[in-house]
């Protein structure tokens, strides 16, 4: 006999592989033919499923080894290093566009109606009566999508055609390992605001062995490679090693300081100074910035969805009317054929020209937006959703580069008894000049001058800023450090620091006469107004941390030998360190209400014995094996006591033009504004206040850090007891709340007049947008200028991009592109409102036009004993839906109920429009009732 033995069952396949084995006996058992046929069919379908799964399977990301100067050794294939905002390619364009069109019930319905005319029994007119309008609609739609797609292609090609050799003050095009820099220290600063939204500059260090190479060409002659982990989303971690192979085949492995990412340069960051050279490890879609963005999707406006639902309702009315006509006919003859003919005769209840008229209207709206001289540079990149601009309820905005210019300006110096603002800085400059001159002054003025002199000197010394000078002579573009005895002009001087606040402070001291001209690891030099050089030796530096919220430095004056401990930090950290005073808390509150970033500056004079004692204890604590950080902090805290309060400084992050009135207008229009930023909590809170996103009289609830479910529950309960207050929350706490109490948190947050989310990653920004869409059902808009905003922009119902200084990634990925944040007011209040009202009225008119002809057909059939005979045929029907009723369509497209100035003056008009959510449905029902009443009235009059 023949045995069927199951041998293998594949995970991805649903069939069995059988082994046929013949025994020693001569008899054979026949297998039924039906079983064989069934097995073949199952086998074929299972193989096809397996092949489909193979084709759909994404490329598995792997770790890679990159050899320096030896591309032939690299086995890993890199994806194209290109930005792609296109939705289709040359093969998927036509199928993709047709799918997007026929997934709407309106177009699918008319495709079925047109195909029915090939059936002789159902044919009621000429084929072109149905196919010509449908073909025209599809042609216009395909042409519009082709134009939009070609524009995206041209924009992407322009960005992807940029060539790079050396990177200096440019956007890094790919993920790299930092090998070499022109700076003698082997380090440079980069700006990451386009990647993570943080305004602080990041210090990057080149790989030590490549930085020490004598010449640049030696990079291609050494035998070395970089091992990098597989591409991943996390922008704050990296695992890899740099290995140099010696001539005797011994491997020397050099770690890449993985914990702090000191050797990595991610794409979309900007080199702030000097020239850097690196080896590329990730390109294109494998870079961190691209992996944190989503693929562009086809966005459909809410008006289109509402019209699609209304079309389904009209179809039910069409079926009901056809059934009534057949019933009144008495089901005579082949009634089912008459039923289908009535469905075709009354098909104009659902007008095929609705889509093309709306598309033509949207094209006109886009043209009006781009030709508006009041918002120059505005580009409509998605021409299918201009009505969405008129129905927004939530606006989610980035901070850095969107609301702010990311330029810090020194605004105020407060000494306790006197305060100096931008209009009195000349007085400070005169005091500094007097302090370093030999001329005598009255005793009172000398006292004031000495206080100002001490405060300015403390600000000029307590920092981590390094001056650099761009060489004019060389063509290599290399940056050289200043030497004291060299004559470097002020125009060539630039400052490097991890924080733009510190750069602003040092630039201010330069403007008042005390200039930082040189700094190295052991000393720094200041230049007085008279040109004299003051040298200070750096004894100790205590860097700023998020936990301590302060930084300090101990210096020794070369001329006098005095040792001074300077410290600056946040008021909450410095209030317990400085000597008692009665003005610190009050003045810090006043500056905070103005939106200024406040720092408290203090000093403490040390004797030689005090410093030697501190140094011995400090060095001993650093040598401890157990609890080293705690012991070091305890020793430093022993020095941070009874310090002399010198001054308060106020630095402002410059806002974009007209940010405050624009936000006020949006709030009056009923739009709730959420600020999502990757920056620090303190910085985000200051900008929220200075931009008036949060009013001065409004309470702010700062959501304390939570890590567990219990902590999140307690903090949510505390937040629930507060009313009408703005919410400030960090990304980590937000993630915990969404994990355990998603619905409760979103419900509470939506009740707040303003929400600020800080330390948000790009994926978190997009997740917040989707949460609002899911839980509220309202329309959302996202606006940003950096690559870290692309995911948020693409996830929102309407995405607006601002052309940034370092790149156009957000602008290219957005539906609408503007040049300044203030333009969003006119874009929404004028163009968004008009587009929505015009499209709604246009949809009502087109459907009303179809109801007229369908009502006349119903009356005609009723008069002639309910015969399924068409009243009009041929070009008359085609012309009625296009040429004959063209002028009312054009008038509705150009209609406006109020002037643009009035719409901007009274943003409440926009608020009323967003409340009128059922504009199309309610309006159409009223038009239908009036139409039926008028036709019945005409019939009664004619009968009499």
Q: Contact, 177 vs 207, CB < 8 A? A: yes
Residue 789 labelled as part of a binding site: yes
Residue 785 labelled as part of a binding site: yes
Query: Could you tell me the sign of the dihedral formed by the alpha carbons of 855, 859, 861, 862, in that order?
Result: positive
Among residues 172, 167, 186, 178, the alpha carbon closest in space to that of 256 is found at: 178
- The 3-class SS string of 142-154 reads HHHHHHHHHHHHH
Residue 788 labelled as part of a binding site: yes
Residue 520 labelled as part of a binding site: no
Residue 457 labelled as part of a binding site: no
Task: Count other C-beta atoms under 10 Å from residue 732's C-beta.
Answer: 15
Residue 400 labelled as part of a binding site: yes
Cα gap 10→891, rounded to integer Å: 65
For residue 406, give every residue at least 6 positions away whose Cβ sits within 8 Å of its Cβ, in sequence order, or none. 193, 199, 400, 500, 653, 654
Cα gap 442→651, rounded to integer Å: 32
Cα gap 699→734, rounded to integer Å: 20
Cα gap 848→689, rounded to integer Å: 51
For residue 773, give every residue at least 6 positions away whose Cβ sits within 8 Å of its Cβ, in sequence order, or none. 780, 797
| DSSP 3-state of 612 | helix
Residue 679 labelled as part of a binding site: yes
Residue 223 labelled as part of a binding site: no
- The 3-class SS string of 845-891 reads HHHHHHHHHHHHHHHHHHHCCCCCCCCCCCHHHHHHHCCCCHHHHHH
Cα gap 750→738, rounded to integer Å: 14
Show the beta-strand stretches assigned E in 94-209.
175-181, 187-191, 202-205
Show the beta-strand stretches assigned E in 309-353.
none
Residue 160 labelled as part of a binding site: no
If you write DSSP's letter for every residue of 92-105 in order, what string do you get? THHHHHHHHHHTSH
Q: Among the options 359, 398, 501, 815, which is catalytic?
A: 398
Residue 60 labelled as part of a binding site: no
Cα gap 669→665, rounded to integer Å: 6
H helices, E strands: number in the chain: 31, 33
| DSSP 3-state of 592 | helix
Largest Cα–Cα distance of the chain, in whole Å? 130
Cα gap 168→272, rounded to integer Å: 7
Residue 678 labelled as part of a binding site: yes
Active site residue 304: no
Residue 399 labelled as part of a binding site: yes
Residue 677 labelled as part of a binding site: yes
Q: Which residues of 353-382 are buried (b: 16+ CB within 10 A; e: fewer)?
A: bbbbbbbbbbbbbbebbeebeebeebbbbb
Cα gap 923→749, rounded to integer Å: 34
| DSSP 3-state of 426 | helix
**831 DSSP 8-state letter:** I
In the block, which residue shows the tokens 């030689």? 608
| DSSP 3-state of 86 | coil
Cα gap 477→274, rounded to integer Å: 8
How much helix, strand and coil, in percent to the nearest 5, is found in the chain? 45, 20, 35
Q: Contact, 688 vs 674, CB < 8 A? A: no
How far CA 32 is from CA of 35, 36, 316, in Å, comes to 5, 7, 50
Could you tell me where the DSSP H helices lie in 330-439? 335-345, 353-370, 425-435
Structure tokens at 813: 């990925």
| HSE of 676, CA atoms in CB hemisphere, 13 A | 30
Name the binding residues. 398-400, 502, 544, 568, 597, 677-679, 759, 765, 785, 788-789
Residues with a known catalytic role: 398
Question: Which amino acids are annotated as binding site for ATP, given as ranges?
Answer: 398-400, 502, 544, 568, 597, 677-679, 759, 765, 788-789
Per the annotation, binding residues for Mg(2+) are 398, 400, 785, 789
């Amino acid at each position: 006999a023949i045995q069927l033995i199951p041998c293998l069952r594949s995970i991805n396949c649903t069939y069995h592989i059988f082994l046929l084995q013949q025994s020693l006996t001569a008899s054979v058992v026949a297998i039924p033919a039906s079983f064989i046929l069934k097995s073949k069919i199952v086998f074929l379908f299972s193989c096809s499923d397996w092949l489909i799964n193979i084709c759909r399977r994404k490329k598995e990301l792997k770790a890679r080894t990159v050899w320096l100067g030896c591309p032939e050794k690299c086995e890993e294939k890199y994806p194209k290093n290109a930005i792609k905002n296109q939705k289709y390619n040359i093969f998927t364009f036509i199928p993709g566009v047709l799918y997007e069109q026929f997934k709407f019930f309106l177009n699918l319905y008319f495709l079925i109606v047109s195909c029915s005319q090939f059936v002789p029994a159902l044919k009621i007119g000429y084929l072109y009566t149905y196919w010509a309008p449908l073909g025209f609609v599809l042609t216009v739609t395909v042409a519009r999508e082709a134009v939009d797609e070609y524009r995206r292609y041209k924009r992407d090609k322009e960005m992807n055609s940029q060539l790079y050799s050396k990177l200096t003050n440019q956007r890094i095009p790919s993920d790299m390992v930092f090998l070499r820099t022109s700076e003698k220290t082997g380090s440079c600063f980069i700006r990451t605001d386009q990647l993570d939204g943080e305004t602080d500059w990041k210090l990057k260090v080149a790989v030590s062995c490549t930085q020490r190479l004598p010449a640049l060409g030696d990079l291609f002659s050494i035998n070395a490679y970089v091992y990098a982990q597989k591409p991943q989303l996390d922008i704050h971690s990296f695992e890899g090693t740099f290995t140099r192979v010696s001539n005797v085949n011994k491997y020397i492995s050099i770690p890449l300081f993985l914990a702090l990412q000191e050797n990595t340069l991610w794409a979309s960051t900007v080199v702030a100074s000097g020239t850097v050279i690196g080896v590329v490890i990730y390109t294109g879609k494998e870079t961190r910035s691209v992996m944190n963005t989503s693929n562009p999707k086809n966005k459909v406006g809410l008006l289109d969805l509402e019209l699609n639902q209304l079309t389904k309702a009209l179809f039910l009315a069409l079926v009901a009317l056809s059934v009534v006509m057949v019933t009144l006919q008495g089901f005579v003859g082949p009634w089912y054929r008459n039923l289908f003919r009535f469905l075709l005769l009354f098909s104009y209840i659902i007008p095929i020209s609705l889509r093309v008229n709306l598309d033509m209207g949207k094209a006109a709206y886009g043209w009006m937006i781009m030709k508006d001289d009041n918002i120059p540079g505005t580009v409509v990149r998605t021409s299918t959703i201009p009505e969405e601009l008129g129905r927004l309820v939530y606006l989610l905005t980035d901070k850095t580069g969107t609301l702010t210019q990311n330029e810090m300006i020194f605004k105020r110096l407060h000494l306790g008894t006197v305060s100096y603002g931008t209009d009195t800085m000349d007085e400070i400059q005169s005091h500094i000049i007097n302090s370093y001159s030999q001329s005598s002054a009255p005793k009172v003025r000398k006292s004031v001058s000495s206080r100002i002199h001490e405060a300015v000197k403390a600000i000029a010394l307590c920092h981590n800023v390094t001056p650099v000078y761009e060489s004019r002579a060389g063509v290599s573009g290399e940056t050289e450090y200043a030497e004291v005895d060299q004559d470097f002009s002020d125009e060539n001087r630039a400052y490097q620091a991890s924080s733009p606040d510190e750069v602003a402070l040092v630039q201010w001291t330069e403007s008042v006469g005390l200039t930082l001209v040189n700094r190295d690891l052991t000393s720094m030099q200041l230049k007085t107004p008279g040109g004299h050089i003051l040298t200070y030796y750096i004894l100790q530096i205590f860097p700023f941390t998020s936990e301590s919220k302060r930084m300090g430095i101990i210096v020794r004056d070369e001329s006098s030998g005095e040792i001074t401990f300077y410290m600056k930090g946040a008021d909450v950290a410095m209030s317990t360190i400085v000597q008692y005073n009665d003005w610190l808390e009050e003045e810090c509150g006043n500056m905070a209400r103005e939106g200024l970033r406040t720092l408290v500056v203090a000093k403490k004079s040390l004797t030689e014995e005090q410093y030697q004692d501190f140094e011995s204890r400090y060095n001993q604590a650093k040598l401890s094996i157990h609890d080293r950080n705690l012991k070091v902090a305890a020793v430093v805290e022993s020095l941070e006591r009874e310090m002399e309060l010198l001054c308060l400084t106020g630095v402002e992050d410059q806002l974009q033009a007209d940010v405050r009135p624009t936000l006020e207008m949006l709030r009056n229009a009923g739009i709730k504004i959420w600020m999502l930023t990757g920056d620090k909590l303190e910085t985000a809170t200051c900008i929220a206040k200075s931009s008036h996103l949060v009013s001065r009289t409004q309470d702010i609830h700062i959501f304390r850090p939570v890590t567990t479910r219990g902590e999140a529950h307690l903090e949510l309960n505390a937040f629930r007891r507060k009313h009408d207050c703005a919410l400030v929350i960090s990304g980590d706490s937000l993630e915990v709340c969404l994990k355990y109490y998603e619905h409760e948190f979103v419900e509470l947050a939506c009740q707040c007049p303003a929400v600020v989310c800080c330390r948000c990653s790009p994926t978190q920004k997009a997740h917040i947008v989707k949460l609002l869409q899911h839980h509220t059902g309202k329309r959302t808009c996202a606006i940003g200028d950096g690559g870290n905003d692309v995911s948020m922009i693409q996830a929102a119902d309407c995405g607006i991009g601002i052309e940034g200084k370092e790149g156009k990634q957000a602008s290219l990925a957005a539906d609408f592109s503007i040049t300044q944040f203030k333009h969003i007011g006119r874009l929404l209040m004028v163009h968004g409102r008009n587009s929505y009202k015009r499209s709604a009225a246009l949809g009502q008119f087109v459907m009303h036009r179809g109801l007229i002809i369908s009502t006349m057909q119903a009356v005609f059939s009723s008069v002639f004993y309910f015969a399924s005979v068409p009243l009009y045929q041929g070009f008359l029907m085609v012309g009625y839906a296009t040429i004959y009723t063209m002028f009312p369509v054009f008038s509705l497209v150009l209609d406006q109920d109020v002037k643009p100035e009035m719409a901007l003056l009274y943003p409440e008009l926009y608020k009323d429009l967003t409340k009128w959510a059922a504009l199309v449905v309610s309006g159409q029902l009223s038009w239908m009732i009036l139409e039926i009443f008028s036709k019945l009235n005409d019939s009664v009059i004619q009968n009499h």
